[in-house]
Amino acid sequence: MDKIERLPILRLTREGEQDTEDIVTRELPVTLILNDQEVVTLPASPSDLDYLAIGFLTSAGLIKGKDEIKKIAVDDQRGTVRVEAGAGDEGPPQPPTKTESQTKISAGEIFALIEEFQRFSQVYRATGGTHSAALGDAKSILLFSEDIGRLNAIDKIFGECILKDIPTSDRILITSGRISSATLLKAARRGIPILISVSAPTDLGVKLASQLGVTVIGFARGERMNIYSNGWRVETS
């Protein structure tokens, strides 16, 4: 299913008006159904809905891991993802634990990663209407996703990691969206030690990051960045 659509528009500037078309990001309400029970309906971009479902359900503690998953059926016309999962490890979701990762990254590597991240963001550049997320190491981006929801984009990354057995615990998560408590908790549950945003954190995001040992970097753009927590992972000289 296409992630974009062309719509007729009237473009106005001080110089005049023009009938033209604009590339608009697509939005699909996606209902996640786990073992025949509706869990949630998320407004989402219609791509990688299997990753979105697994990332969301795992982050919410409703699935513990890949071994539990028996079947995933995506219907991107109706906007449903049906997941069948066996009750593996019963009990409440695990709270995130403090990361002990000793991974480090240099300031120059961060600037290079952000540059690569922005080259990847194709739907955003076409439509201005999506968020992006990426998983990387200090050298390069390994996985990339886009979605109209900033948290959906992160769920898609982690869903792909779970389904493909890609480790996350010494890696870097990059997001175009703000770092709120929800962002931070999703990252911490996957053991991410370094979380980088092109935009701002909230105070609660930073406080949780300090407690959970996560390095939070905000406003990473062009030639500057702010380090909000656990700055020892960033080598500055």
Please check whether residue 1 is in contact with residue 47, taking contact to mean a CB–CB distance below 8 angstroms. Answer: yes
- Those residues whose C-beta lies under 8 Å from the C-beta of residue 16, and which sit 6 or more positions away, are none
Q: Is 37 in the site for its own copies (CB under 8 A)?
A: no
Q: Are 1 and 46 in contact (CB under 8 A)?
A: yes
- 152 Cβ contact list (under 8 Å, min separation 6): 42, 44, 45, 52, 56, 131
> Does 219 engage in binding with its own copies (CB under 8 A)?
yes
Q: Which residues in 177-216 contact its own copies (CB under 8 A)?
A: 178, 180-182, 199-206
Q: Which of 61, 65, 128, 167: binder of its own copies (CB under 8 A)?
A: 128
- State the Cα–Cα distance between residues 182 and 192, nearest whole angstrom: 14
Name the minimum Å distance from CB 147 to its own copies.
11
Of 1, 43, 67, 211, the one binding its own copies (CB under 8 A) is 43
Q: Rule CB under 8 A: say whether 1 interacts with its own copies.
A: no
Per the document, the length of the chain is 237
| Interacting residues with its own copies (CB under 8 A) | 5, 7, 9-14, 17, 22, 24-29, 43, 107, 127-129, 148, 178, 180-182, 199-206, 218-219, 223-228, 231, 234, 236
